[in-house]
Amino acid sequence: MSRLHRSLSLAAVSLAALMAAQGGAQAGAFAIREQSATAQGYSFAGAASGSGGLSSMFWNPATITMAPGWQSEWHASLIIPRIEIDPVPGIPTFALGSSGDIGQDAIVPASYSSYQVNDMFWVGVSTSSPYGLVTDPRDTWAGQGYSRSSKIFSLNVNPVLGIKVNDWLSVAAGPSLQYFDIRLKRAAFAGLGAPSVILDGDDIGFGFTAGVTLTPFAGTSIGIGYRSQIDHELEGTVAIPLPVASRIPISADLTTPDQLTIGISQAITPAFTVHAGFEWTNWSILEAPLVVGPGGIVVTDLPLNYDDGYFYSLGFDYRLNSQWTLRAGVAYEESPIDTEVRSTRLPDNDRIWASVGATYQWSDKLSFDIAYTHIFSKDTEIRITPEHQDYDPLAGGTFLADVDASTDIISVALRYRWDDPKVALPAAPIVRKY
């Protein structure tokens, strides 16, 4: 099998796996951070400076120049959330009860491949699912007028060209093609036996990624990566059950946020490396997209109005021997969602990540990664009152609730060198080996 044919086959398998997956949001708002089992072991510290191996190209495509020869990685994360919304006694719909566990387990895959053309140029491709959400409360519950199930699915394909300018500077960029699909349900009214109003739409949009890596000193790697906004003109329908069941064609303009990630990795000893990371996500770009029906009539809106999101992380790895590398990390995430805009669909809040992971080098061609993370969420309140953007008397009016949430994540990865490492072309200096 030719190298080109094999690469195309791998890309097709990766696409098929991604299209079969429904992601559960485990970054701020409805983003999915779990794109790398390796980086997850550090709580994503240094993801932009190469701590995630080849998968770091999701955050910073310039890290592709750290991967010598011809390589591929496949990652999968099992996300196990537990989220329950308990209404406060005294609200009009209290008798309908709590949401039950609205969190849905999900498997999120990602894949990465790179090929070193010569000592200056690299080409590669990543397939990922950067946005996703699945929440599914009981059909009959106190907040059903504000939400029943919510589903968001995305698929992103990102070819990359990397250039090693010299021994201390690399740059990379590439186009990003993204499929985005959304489906939202809520009860037509707050009482028992209420049918559902269903909004769904999808679109394909285009953006880009770009990045730079600097290695100013031996053992030091600095990376800066950027993922652009992607504009989507969602086309779909709103199914309205009352007074007569009907389906109205709609469209809505939604822009997924751009993201800046900075990482630094510093080797303390040949076996011990420290990583740090910072991430900014421009969630405030979302605002409140209008849902437009035939004739340009506004049917409804999607009141988001989030703040920007921030993520701070610190981690380390220790090379135990030639086969085992151990890692750990912690992170603090400032959610873009606060009590002023928090909804029953996505009761997000600030949280702390704690992670451990390991790499096992089976041979000079094959290695395996595993990581585990527990996310501790802050005490969270939903306060939908007449001043809240979601407030609707037909949905039940005032809705007050407390949210109990936590998440466990288990990730695995496989990394393979297709070429012979003994004759591979040299890559840019790296701060660690796997």
Q: Which amino acid is at 212?
A: V
Task: State the Cα–Cα distance between residues 200 and 152, nearest whole angstrom.
Answer: 10
Task: State the Cα–Cα distance between residues 304 and 389, nearest whole angstrom.
Answer: 9
- 332 within 8 A of 352, measured Cβ to Cβ: yes
pLDDT value at 322 more than 70: yes
Confidence of residue 15 (pLDDT cuts 50, 70, 90): very low
Task: State the Cα–Cα distance between residues 71 and 38, nearest whole angstrom.
Answer: 15
Task: State the Cα–Cα distance between residues 44 and 56, nearest whole angstrom.
Answer: 9
Element (H, E) at 13: helix 3-19
Q: Which amino acid is at 288?
A: A
Q: Which amino acid is at 261?
A: T
Beta bridge partners of 333: 311, 351
- Nearest CA-CA partner of 97 in 150, 139, 146, 151: 139
Q: What is the DSSP letter of 94?
A: G
Helix (H, G, I), strand (E, B) or coil at 217: coil
- 214 within 8 A of 48, measured Cβ to Cβ: no
So where are the chain's domains?
A: 3-423
pLDDT digits (tens, 9 = 90+) for 353-411: 999 999 999 999 999 999 999 999 988 999 999 999 999 999 999 999 999 999 999 99
Q: Which residue has the tokens 């039940």?
A: 396
pLDDT digits (tens, 9 = 90+) for 62-112: 999 999 999 999 999 999 999 999 999 999 999 999 999 999 899 999 999
- Nearest CA-CA partner of 171 in 70, 61, 278: 61
Residue 432: what pLDDT? 41
400, burial (CB in 10 Å: exposed 0-12, middle 13-18, buried 19+): middle
Confidence of residue 16 (pLDDT cuts 50, 70, 90): very low
pTM score, whole prediction: 0.89
The structural architecture, per CATH, of the domain 3-423 is Beta Barrel (2.40)
- Tell me how far CA of residue 67 lies from CA of 44, 52, 74, 75, 433, in angstroms: 19, 11, 15, 17, 10
- 194 within 8 A of 144, measured Cβ to Cβ: yes
The backbone region for 219, taken as left when phi is positive above 0, alpha when psi lies in -120 to 50, beta otherwise, is left
Confidence of residue 423 (pLDDT cuts 50, 70, 90): confident
pLDDT value at 213 more than 70: yes
Confidence of residue 7 (pLDDT cuts 50, 70, 90): very low
Helix (H, G, I), strand (E, B) or coil at 423: helix
Instruction: Supply φ then ψ for residue 337, to 5 degrees.
Output: -110, 130
- 56 within 8 A of 147, measured Cβ to Cβ: no
Instruction: Supply φ then ψ for residue 363, to 5 degrees.
Output: -155, -175
